[in-house]
Structure 1
Amino acid sequence: MAQRLTATVALVTGASSGIGEATALALAAEGAQVAVVARRRDRLEDLAARIGDAGGRALVIEADVTERQQAEGAVATTVEQLGRLDTVVNNAGVMLLGPVVDAPVEEWERMLSLNVQGLMYVAHAALPHLLQAAADGPREVADLINVSSVAGRVARNGSAVYNATKHAVGAFSEGLRQEVTQRHVRVSLIEPGAVDTELPDHNRPAIREHLQQRFADVERLRSEDIADAIAYVVTRARHVAINELLVRPTEQQA
């Protein structure tokens, strides 16, 4: 099958593991040059080497997108080094669960900073380049993918602030979609259910144990499943926009 993203450039945040890593590999397999962005440079370099071994090209950018200048710099470096920007996958995020009562407020600040502000910083910096790609690029369309969660649809006891950040991602995505869709920049929201990644590992021990029990009988999604969904969205024909995609394990009820 022909590579559908040949002559295009993609940027993926949170690319050092999980969904971001799998997405970078999937987009590279479709022919895109990929800028991989995260804080763990060693993992990014390993990912870039694997993409290179498969015949692709990856640009390693060590950055913390919660810092506005670093987010803007990641976008600028991508365009300077790879020449353009056609696809952005805003994947970087953190999930820190627990009750609101007596919660460590620092966890809230971390989630808001990364899940909301960091995503918005990257989107804002990328939009001029995406609009330009849609106007004169090889595909005459550009894509901004914001990775949310089923938590952006359904609020749960013990997940209030994480829910709030992911609902914010959904609202931002839809408002921006309406703003730029007639200029052929497609804004898409991807909402994974339970995925077997590092995401739960950042929680406090009691919460990690609760999550393990909750999903003990569920065959969780793999990162490659979400990467496949993202690749599907960004390879549609110019006149087709997948605005929102919810992907849950078959056995996950809520």
Structure 2
Amino acid sequence: MTEEKKRFVLYEYLLYFWKHKNYFLLIPILTTLLIAGVVYALKGNDGYTGTAFVYTGSIETPDLTSPKNLEADFEKINPKVDVFVSGKRNVKITLKGKSKAKVENDLKEMVSEYYKRLDEQYDKQLVASVPYVFDLEASYKAKEKVLEHYMDKLEEQISTPSQYNDTKELIIKTEESIAEEKAIVHRMMGTISFFEPPEVLNKETTKADTYLKESIAAGLILGFVLAFAILILLKYIEDARRYYNKD
């Protein structure tokens, strides 16, 4: 009996990889160039990215807080705009373009117009609220004086029980009206004290990210994996050919 030659498969593959080590150089370079080229073609033309954060304060009007409404307004200045509104009443305006000067000017115009509208709405709400509070204060203070008159009248001798009951009823209704108006004033004063004005938090223009580092890393990893796969396939084909040729 002849002893069959023992095979070390892993060692054979390592030798095969070493003989064809140029695959591990050429293929990763090609995949890196390919991926980096595709990513740059998609992202490289963005040029610059302008970002602005605007705090809307206590403004909740849909025309000034809805992303779709805002984008429709901003697109009149530059169509390459994106708007995101967070739950914390922060509006993020993102604008992309090839020219840094144009991105800066368009973003400045958008933020300026938007802040102007917010400020006008803030003044309207404040102007509408404060006089109403003053009117209510004047109203319940006047009623308090009338209430004093009713109380004095109640202490006087009233000729008939019906007059007494009518005066008593007037006092109760006046007290209820005063209490209601005081509650409204208190509630609105609390609202006004926490009424926050709009504010431009941040505005900057930076070079757009081309994701070059990420695309290079992805290309190298994919290239090495592809080189391993190709060499394993080639080794398998060579072994299969030798086996069938031997027969």
Please say whether Structure 1 and Structure 2 have the same fold, judged by a TM-score greater than 0.5: no
Instruction: Say which one has the larger Rg.
Output: 2
> Which of structures 1 and 2 has the larger relative contact order (alpha carbons within 8 angstroms, sep 6+)?
2
> What is the TM-score of this pair, normalised by structure 2?
0.24
TM-score for both structures, normalised by structure 1: 0.24
Higher helix share: 2
